């Protein structure tokens, strides 16, 4: 299936509170393995919990794990938004 | 003796388990192939002595962080008879991968599912027999915090070690990229999670602690509280240590050395004993610092502080944890430098350690308060002091901006926010105790050697008045005069800078000796000797150059890299010189 067809967007663009299925991770092997270790894996559901008031850091949740990451790292994760 | 290694992700209660298993006898030590000290203890398991090694908490075994490398290097260089793999029962969905990775090395292991009490109260159900069968390892549910399941854990570890036939060290290879998917599949097959896991205590607390508007003010409030706790509790303890040392000097040492020739007595009293005193004066704050920082870390708040303050530091190539340590450095740089160990990535640690010494610590504050009071009007004094704090932050950020490329180029920020938990007191106190003994072991010799060196410079030749122009220090100050006179710092004051290299606490005492004025008349003597421009130039220099010998000792102890330590000394010295020069020349031109 073409990525465009399922409307892939970056985790950074996922609206606050919205949930999405992860389809893409960072290419860098080291960063990718850290993402996986925190639960950010293909096929898992991620939710944007909050964004920091100033700046670009956001908090997301996968399963029972909360993760803080910067927009730069979040932009490398491609998700398919789930209907609310 | 068989050897058992403890492996687990961060925040899984690994230290708590280690403490439960091993009791009080743990020590840090060196290991072949590894550049950091690891905690180890010998325990009796099933009638045999077993050496238990606590490996750093790691997210995976393939690449990335420095802690991961340490674990790989340890396993590659040290034979291990078995692994205890510790996981958090509430986050098994992503933690089983470590068990699969460990299994792929061919090492025997036991999977310890910690925090099973928490999982139970969240309604998480684990099909133990299915998990054991599919994983091919014994699995034990436990709660290291309250001791539940510990007998079963000991039992499983004992029988694993008993059957273990491992020969030599293993070579941890690159992990199978599908392992994460396999681990997740395994979890889906064996663990049931209720659909509504959302309103946990952590989620509710985070609504307040990470609030869009209140989060940051709360952070500063908490930091202020920790800061006050460490340093207001620390001050009387330091006084106690100081008066104990004074007593020892006056009542024991001085009568003992009267029979010795003058220079020898002076060496013992003003060299060796003062060196020991310098080391001792740091122990209370290191102890308290690590007690309170472990509380903050163990509660889960530290990574939240990093999240809240990330935007302040991101530009400078640092993360929020650097900011926490920088703030704590305003009390004392030494424990703050040691505290950077909570950051996994080495580049980030080294950069943070480079900026911490610019934090205006309480020892420097003492010097500044004195000079500001002596030389500035009561109306100007607070502003002068405030400007020094601005320079403190400014030089730190300048340094970070300049060095970030070399040290933390493209450091990603991806941080777990662990669930809030009550820290385990035993773990907290053990940690603080280990930090104190680590400091004693690694820094004592260096600090005493430095104090003795400065003692020699300021006392030799022995027939000269100490710290006078006739001593080596006086000769040195003549050589250095071309360097210091453009800053408005005269020869006598440059000798106090030499003392200040040992510790800023002694600067005022040194001034009193040099101006032979006694503490009471010092203010008058100093204000007679220099104008406000000279005083401010001197203060800028004192603010920016090496805070003290102990910070250098700790930088070396933590970085284990003389090149880095040299840069960490030379760069602030250069910056101090340039700033004082620019200030003195410009100010003299306009107001001199």
Question: What is residue B15's predicted lDDT score, i.e. its pLDDT?
Answer: 92
Pick the CATH number of B2-197 from 2.40.40.20, 3.20.20.70, 3.40.30.10, 3.40.50.300: 3.40.50.300
Helices B425-459 and B549-559 cross at an angle (nearest 10°) of 130
Question: What is residue B64's predicted lDDT score, i.e. its pLDDT?
Answer: 64
Interface test with B, best of A66, A71, A74, A76 (most B CBs within 10 A): A66
Say if residues B218 and B349 touch (Cβ distance below 8 Å): no
Question: What is residue B231's predicted lDDT score, i.e. its pLDDT?
Answer: 86
* CB-based contact A38 B62, cutoff 8 Å: no
Sign of the torsion formed by the C-alpha atoms of B554, B558, B563 and B564: negative
Question: What is residue B151's predicted lDDT score, i.e. its pLDDT?
Answer: 96
Q: Domains of chain A (ranges plus CATH)?
A: 8-81 (2.30.30.90)
Say if residues B552 and B447 touch (Cβ distance below 8 Å): no
Of A54, A63, A73, the CB nearest to B413: A73
Question: What is residue A32's predicted lDDT score, i.e. its pLDDT?
Answer: 87
Listed residue (B237, B393, B280, B398) closest to B330, CA to CA: B393
Question: What is residue B315's predicted lDDT score, i.e. its pLDDT?
Answer: 80
How many C-beta atoms lie closer than 10 Å to residue B253's C-beta? 17
Say if residues B351 and B405 touch (Cβ distance below 8 Å): no
- Write the pLDDT tens digit of every residue in B406-452: 887 667 788 999 999 999 999 999 989 988 988 898 889 888 988 89
User: With a cut of 50, which residues of chain B have pLDDT below it?
Assistant: none
* CB-based contact A44 B9, cutoff 8 Å: no
Q: Is the pLDDT of residue A6 over 70?
A: no
Interface test with A, best of B181, B307, B317 (most A CBs within 10 A): B307
> Exposed (0-12), middle (13-18) or buried (19+): which is B25, by Cβ within 10 Å?
exposed
Q: Which residues of B touch A69 (CB under 8 A)?
A: 413-415
CA distance B279 to A50: 45
Question: What is residue A1's predicted lDDT score, i.e. its pLDDT?
Answer: 44
Q: Which residues of B touch A55 (CB under 8 A)?
A: 310-311, 314
- Write the pLDDT tens digit of every residue in A43-54: 999 999 999 877
Strand order in B27-29's β-sheet? B27-29, B38-45, B48-54, B2-8, B82-88, B109-114, B138-141
Domain ranges of chain B: 2-197, 448-591
Q: Is the pLDDT of residue A2 over 60?
A: no
CA distance B308 to B221: 13
Under 8 Å CB pairs connecting chains A and B tally to: 124
Question: What is residue B410's predicted lDDT score, i.e. its pLDDT?
Answer: 66
Say if residues B551 and B334 touch (Cβ distance below 8 Å): yes
- The overall longest dimension of chain A from CA atoms, in Å, is 38
Instruction: Give the chain B residue whose CA is nearest to the CA of A74.
Output: B414
Question: Taking phi first (over 0 means left), then psi (-120 to 50 degrees means alpha), and beta for anything else, what does residue B115 get?
Answer: left
Structure tokens at B588: 């003299």
Question: What is residue B564's predicted lDDT score, i.e. its pLDDT?
Answer: 96
Complex ipTM above 0.90? yes
Structure tokens at B44: 């009796």
Question: What is residue B20's predicted lDDT score, i.e. its pLDDT?
Answer: 94
Q: Is the pLDDT of residue A3 over 50?
A: no
DSSP label at residue B269: I
Of A29, A38, A69, the CB nearest to B413: A69
Backbone angles phi, psi at B28, to 5 degrees: -90, 150
Structure tokens at B97: 């991968």
CA distance B286 to B267: 28
């Amino acid at each position: 299936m073409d990525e465009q067809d399922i409307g892939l967007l970056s985790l950074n663009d996922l609206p606050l509170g919205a949930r999405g299925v992860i389809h893409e991770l960072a290419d860098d092997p080291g960063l990718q393995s850290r993402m996986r270790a925190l639960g950010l894996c293909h096929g898992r559901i991620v939710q944007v919990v909050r964004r920091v008031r100033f700046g670009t850091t956001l908090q997301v949740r996968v399963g029972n794990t909360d993760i803080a990451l910067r927009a730069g790292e979040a932009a490398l994760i491609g998700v398919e938004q789930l209907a609310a | 003796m068989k050897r058992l290694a403890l492996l687990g992700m961060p925040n899984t209660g690994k230290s708590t388990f280690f403490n439960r298993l091993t009791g009080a006898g743990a020590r840090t030590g060196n290991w072949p192939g590894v550049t950091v000290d690891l905690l180890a203890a010998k325990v009796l398991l099933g009638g045999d002595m077993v050496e238990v090694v606590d490996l750093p908490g790691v997210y995976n075994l393939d690449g990335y962080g420095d802690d991961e490398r340490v674990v790989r290097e340890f396993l590659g260089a040290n034979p291990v008879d078995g692994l205890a793999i510790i996981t958090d029962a509430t986050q098994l969905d992503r933690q089983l991968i470590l068990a699969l990775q460990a299994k792929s090395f061919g090492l025997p292991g036991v999977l310890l599912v910690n925090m099973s009490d928490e999982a139970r109260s969240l309604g998480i159900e684990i099909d133990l027999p299915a998990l054991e069968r599919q994983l091919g390892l014994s699995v034990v549910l436990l709660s290291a915090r309250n001791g539940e399941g510990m007998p079963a854990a000991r039992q499983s570890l004992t029988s694993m070690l008993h059957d273990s036939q491992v020969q030599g060290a293993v070579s941890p290879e690159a992990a199978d990229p599908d392992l994460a998917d396999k681990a997740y599949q395994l979890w889906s097959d064996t663990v049931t999670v209720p659909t509504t896991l959302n309103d946990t205590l952590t989620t509710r607390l985070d609504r307040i602690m990470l609030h869009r508007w209140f989060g940051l003010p709360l952070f500063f409030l908490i930091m202020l509280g920790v800061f006050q706790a460490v340093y207001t509790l620390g001050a009387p303890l330091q006084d106690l240590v100081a008066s104990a040392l004074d007593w020892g000097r006056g009542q024991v040492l001085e009568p003992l050395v009267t029979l010795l020739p003058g220079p020898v007595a002076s060496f013992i009293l003003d060299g060796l004993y003062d060196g020991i005193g310098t080391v001792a004066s740091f122990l209370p704050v290191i102890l308290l610092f690590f007690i309170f920082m472990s509380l903050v870390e163990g509660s889960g708040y530290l990574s939240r502080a990093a999240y809240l303050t990330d935007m302040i530091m991101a530009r400078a190539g640092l993360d929020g944890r650097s900011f926490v340590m920088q703030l704590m450095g305003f009390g004392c740089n030494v424990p703050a430098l040691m505290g950077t160990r909570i950051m996994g990535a080495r580049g980030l640690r080294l950069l943070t350690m480079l900026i911490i010494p610019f934090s205006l610590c309480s020892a420097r504050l003492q010097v500044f308060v004195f000079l500001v009071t002596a030389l500035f009007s009561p109306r100007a004094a607070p502003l002068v002091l405030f400007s020094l704090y601005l320079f403190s932050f400014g030089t730190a950020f300048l340094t970070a901006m300049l060095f970030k490329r070399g040290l933390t180029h493209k450091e990603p920020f991806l941080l777990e926010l662990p669930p809030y938990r009550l820290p385990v007191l035993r773990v907290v106190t053990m940690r603080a105790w280990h930090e104190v003994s680590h400091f004693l072991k690694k820094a004592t010799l260096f600090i005493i050697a430095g104090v003795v060196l400065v003692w020699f410079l300021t006392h030799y030749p022995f027939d000269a008045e100490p710290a006078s122009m006739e001593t080596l220090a006086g000769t040195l100050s003549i050589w250095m005069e071309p360097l210091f006179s453009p800053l408005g710092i005269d020869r006598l004051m440059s000798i106090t800078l030499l003392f200040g290299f040992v510790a800023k606490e002694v600067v005022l005492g040194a001034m009193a000796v040099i101006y032979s004025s006694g503490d009471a008349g010092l203010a008058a003597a100093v204000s007679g000797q220099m104008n406000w421009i000279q005083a401010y130039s001197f203060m800028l220099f004192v603010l920016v150059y090496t805070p003290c010998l102990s910070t250098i000792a700790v930088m070396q102890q933590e970085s284990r890299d003389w090149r880095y330590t040299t840069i960490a000394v030379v760069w602030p010295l250069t910056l101090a010189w340039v700033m004082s020069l620019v200030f003195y020349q410009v100010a003299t031109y306009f107001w001199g």
